[in-house]
Homo-oligomer: A and B are copies of this chain.
Amino acid sequence: MDALFKEVDPLRQASRDTVRELGMLQEKFGDFGVSMAQCHSLIELGHRGVLTAGELAEILRLDKSTMSRVVAGLKRAGLIAIRDAARDKRKKPLMLTARGKKKLERIHQHSNRQVQDALALLNEDDRKTVVAGMAMYAKALARSRAQREFEVRRIEERDNPEVAGIIRRVMPEFGADGPGFAIHDPEVDFMSKAYAGKKAGYWVLAKNGTIVGGGGFAGLISGPKDVCELRKMYFLPEVRGAGMGRKLLEHVLVEAKKAGFKRCYLETLATMTRARALYEAAGFEKICEPMGATGHFGCDSWMIRRL
């Protein structure tokens, strides 16, 4: 495993202290007669209006059974009620009662005060750092967790239909379905075979057993021996923005380097803006002319980087 960032230890330390100071190790929330989980549920209901128990469980990262009992407690206390008349009778949409709103108001006052008093000890710059740091940490933790649900693995024969389907779905999305595009390569239906050699490879991105993207490399046809081409890297729209493009790209490049290549070349389209931002962030640089003879004369953008 890689060496840890030097920030890990002090961050964990400070995070533990924060959690303890905020009383998060305690079951109850102050003198409000509600548990920590109940308190968070009230806040979230106040924020979003109507939520089912399942949605709350997802948001608070709690087990649905826990949530069920949390909700039962809040209902017993008259703080929330089920909004009836839902189409799907399995769902029970929850919302705050007037009493619940009042209780929530007092909770907010108390917490606002606690946070306000702490922030009052800092100057404006430090306050900004605290907010920015906490926001970035929360977001990074969430993204990191989301990424854990993905798996990158080498393509297998049984994956071929799914992978072909993704290629044929994504490329037209960017207008890359006319002549001179990779969508017409004969290999599209037999990717596992086409990238089986030692000097090539293709990997799929899977989520819950379903393939949602892929990418690979192979030697650049009619190009210098030490140059490989990044090939057919595509993701379904629903998984874009999760940062998995970067992960898969890194994976492919590491493997390409292992295979002995010194540089990696790629062809893309100016309209694929997010992909090109990714390539640039990964160290690829624009070049003005295509290399080799890929036959993909539909592409209008060429990049290369050292491995």
Identify the A interface with B (CB < 8 A): 1-2, 4-5, 7-26, 36-37, 40, 43, 59-63, 66, 111-122, 126-145, 147-148, 243
In whole angstroms, what is the CA distance A142 to B11 when docked? 16
In whole angstroms, what is the CA distance A36 to B19 when docked? 11
Complex A-B, nearest 7 residue pairs according to Cβ-Cβ distance, in ascending order: A133-B133, A17-B138, A21-B141, A14-B134, A118-B140, A118-B144, A14-B135
In whole angstroms, what is the CA distance A131 to B140 when docked? 13
Choose one: B12, B22, B118, B119; the contact of A19 (CB below 8 Å): B22
Min Cβ gap A139→B in Å is: 8
* Of listed A112, A114, A140, A243, residue having the most chain B CB within 10 A: A140
Docked-complex contact B137 and A18, CB < 8 angstroms: yes
In whole angstroms, what is the CA distance A58 to B130 when docked? 25
* Of listed A9, A18, A40, A122, residue having the most chain B CB within 10 A: A18
In whole angstroms, what is the CA distance A141 to B9 when docked? 20
Question: 6 A–B contact pairs at CB < 8 A?
Answer: A7-B119, A8-B119, A11-B131, A14-B131, A15-B134, A118-B141
Min Cβ gap A280→B in Å is: 15
Min Cβ gap A35→B in Å is: 9
Cβ contacts under 8 Å, A40 to chain B: 16, 20, 25
Cβ contacts under 8 Å, A243 to chain B: 121
Chain B: CB-nearest residue to A23: B61
Docked-complex contact A115 and B60, CB < 8 angstroms: no
Docked-complex contact A19 and B24, CB < 8 angstroms: yes
Docked-complex contact B12 and A115, CB < 8 angstroms: yes
Min Cβ gap A237→B in Å is: 21
Given contacts A11-B115, A11-B119, A141-B21, contact A5 B43 (CB under 8 A): no
In whole angstroms, what is the CA distance A12 to B140 when docked? 17
Docked-complex contact B26 and A24, CB < 8 angstroms: no
In whole angstroms, what is the CA distance A61 to B23 when docked? 7
